[in-house]
DNA sequence: AATAATACCATACGCTCGTATTGTTTGTCA
DNA sequence: TGACAAACAATACGAGCGTATGGTATTATT
């Protein structure tokens, strides 16, 4: 990536700060006003910042600038909670979302769950955590998955050993399961934990 | 939060999808075009979605819609890593950021660290996790903090019992410390973990 | 000394934007 | 039955937008 002059860097910094503060990109004239210059040179700056790879611009779209390497966030619905490593409870307010970097979701279909219980505690998944599950990521041995067992859903470690599927908890208090009927809802790809107060 | 009619929900969904796809909010006329209606009713929809608490709108700002419960993200610099519960290593690329919901940081000054080692494994903090530290959140007994001990930094549980400060790991392999010289760099407020393939 | 890149001014075009206003139709609920 | 909300049409206004063009002055680089 080409280096920027001091002024070019200042323009880019302003755009970043503006975006953090307002959550929209500035218009050309807003940038011009900030630096007390006319819109002509701002067009130059935007051309340069594009050419050097720091920005993208959507043609003829107001506030249509984009940071070249700032990934986008997409809303992932929080569908329910997995309780005590056993059953899944739907959440009432289906409008609840957690916003995840698209680098992580990679445009896969995802949903999120709240963790209840301690069945996965030894692998660092504890009560209250928000876990993001991808519905269509490929699953290999050792992956952590959410699986339906009859009418119950649980967070388990998936292993297929010589054709036989084992679903195990990392907490030894819960014995491994060799299920006849099961359906893997998805694979754990991300975890969020907020420490409150 | 007031319930939405089917049509109102569709409009809200379109706005969400548009945002995910284009990373800018649609204009009134773009919404109108999508539903093949005029801009009058779209104004009605936006008023309703605002009144019912799903959207905010910046006055007279093109593409100035905002999701009411989608908080903004602010960049938190990843300053280094905490290795094996003992020392802190600065990260070379200071341009590395993790984007955190401003609901979480609450405009507090924060930084992020990569976790190395297993000193906090029993409390669900494992190797590779990204932890977000607030420099100015109040600290009370039981909080997890990053503390400087002489020239070393570590993740520890903070407790002050009858005037005496104890810094302990949750992994019993590391004995608790009753430090003479120490400085608390900040308090753990958030944790991110990506499960890579 | 010549060339190129940077950093600026000035101005104009036409379109798109949010806003505002007035009105119609349909359905729901007290 | 009467009131109200929802869902739409039609149109007008002025401001703001991205774009384009054609300059000048300064500073590096070759």
- Please give the Cα distance from B183 to B117 (Å, whole number): 21
Q: Nearest nucleotide to A48 by CA–C1' distance?
A: C6
B17 confidence band (pLDDT: 50, 70, 90): confident
Q: For domain A73-192, which architecture applies?
A: Ribbon (2.10)
Q: Is the pLDDT of residue A76 over 90?
A: no
Look at residue A90 in the predicted model and tell me its pLDDT. 54
Question: Rounded to an integer, what is the distance from CA B32 to the centroid of its chain?
Answer: 35
In Å, how far is B111's CA from the nearest CA of chain A? 15
| d(CA A43, C1' C10) / Å | 14
Going by their DSSP bridges, the two strands A164-168 and A152-161 should be labelled as: antiparallel
Is the minimum distance from the CB of B25 to strand D below 7 Å? no
- Is the CB of A58 inside 8 Å of chain B's CB atoms? yes
For residues A132 and A142, the answer to whether their CB atoms sit within 8 Å is no
Coil, strand or helix: which one is A51?
A: helix
Domain A6-67 has CATH 1.10.10.10: yes
Q: Is the pLDDT of residue A181 over 90?
A: no
Spell out the domain ranges in chain B. Answer: 6-67, 73-192
Q: Is the pLDDT of residue B161 over 80?
A: yes
Q: Is the pLDDT of residue A71 over 90?
A: no
Equal fold, A6-67 vs A73-192 = no
Residues A114-138, mean pLDDT to the nearest whole number: 87
Going by C-alpha positions, the residue among B148, B144, B123, B122 that lies closest to residue B132 is B144
A182 confidence band (pLDDT: 50, 70, 90): confident
Look at residue B93 in the predicted model and tell me its pLDDT. 44
pTM: 0.71
Look at residue B94 in the predicted model and tell me its pLDDT. 43
Q: Is the pLDDT of residue B2 over 60?
A: yes
Of B81, B114, B134, B156, which is the active-site residue? B156
Question: Over the stretch A154-164, which tens digit does the pLDDT of each residue have?
Answer: 888 999 999 89
Look at residue B84 in the predicted model and tell me its pLDDT. 47
Average confidence score pLDDT of chain A: 85
Look at residue A93 in the predicted model and tell me its pLDDT. 47
Please write down the HEC assignment for all residues of B102-129.
Answer: HHHHCCCCEEEEEECCCCCHHHCCCCCC
Residues A52-60, mean pLDDT to the nearest whole number: 92
Hey, what are B60's tokens?
Answer: 């007279």
C-alpha Rg value of chain B to the nearest Å: 23
Vertex A108 angle, CA A134 and A155, to 5°: 0
**Residue A58 falls in the annotated catalytic set:** no
**Residue B119 falls in the annotated catalytic set:** yes
Residues A41-64, mean pLDDT to the nearest whole number: 94
CA dihedral A65, A69, A75, A76 (to 10 degrees): 160
Question: Over the stretch B79-130, which tens digit does the pLDDT of each residue have?
Answer: 777 654 555 555 544 456 787 877 787 767 888 888 888 878 888 999 989 9
Look at residue A84 in the predicted model and tell me its pLDDT. 46
A15 confidence band (pLDDT: 50, 70, 90): very high
| d(CA A88, C1' D11) / Å | 53
Look at residue A107 in the predicted model and tell me its pLDDT. 64
Is the minimum distance from the CB of B172 to strand C below 7 Å? no
In Å, how far is A81's CA from the nearest CA of chain B? 18
Average confidence score pLDDT of chain B: 85
Strand D-contacting residues in B 140-179, CB cut-off 7 angstroms:
none
Is the minimum distance from the CB of B7 to strand D below 7 Å? yes
């Amino acid at each position: 990536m080409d280096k920027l002059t001091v002024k070019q860097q200042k323009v880019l910094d302003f755009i970043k700060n503006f975006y953090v503060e307002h959550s929209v990109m500035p218009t050309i004239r807003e940038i011009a006003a900030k630096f007390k210059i006319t819109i002509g040179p701002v067009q130059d700056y935007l051309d340069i910042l594009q050419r050097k790879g720091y920005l993208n611009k959507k043609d003829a779209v107001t506030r249509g600038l984009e940071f070249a390497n700032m990934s986008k966030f997409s809303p992932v619905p929080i569908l329910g909670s997995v309780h005590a490593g056993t059953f899944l409870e739907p959440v009432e307010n289906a409008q609840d979302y957690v916003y995840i970097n698209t680098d992580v979701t990679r445009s896969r279909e995802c949903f999120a769950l709240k963790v209840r219980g301690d069945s996965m505690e030894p692998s660092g998944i504890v009560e209250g955590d928000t876990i993001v599950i991808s519905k269509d990521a490929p699953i290999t041995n050792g992956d952590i998955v959410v699986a339906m067992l009859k009418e119950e859903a649980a967070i388990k470690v998936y292993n297929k050993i010589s054709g036989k599927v084992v679903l195990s908890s990392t907490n030894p208090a819960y014995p491994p399961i060799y299920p006849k009927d099961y359906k893997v809802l998805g694979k754990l790809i991300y975890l969020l934990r907020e420490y409150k107060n």
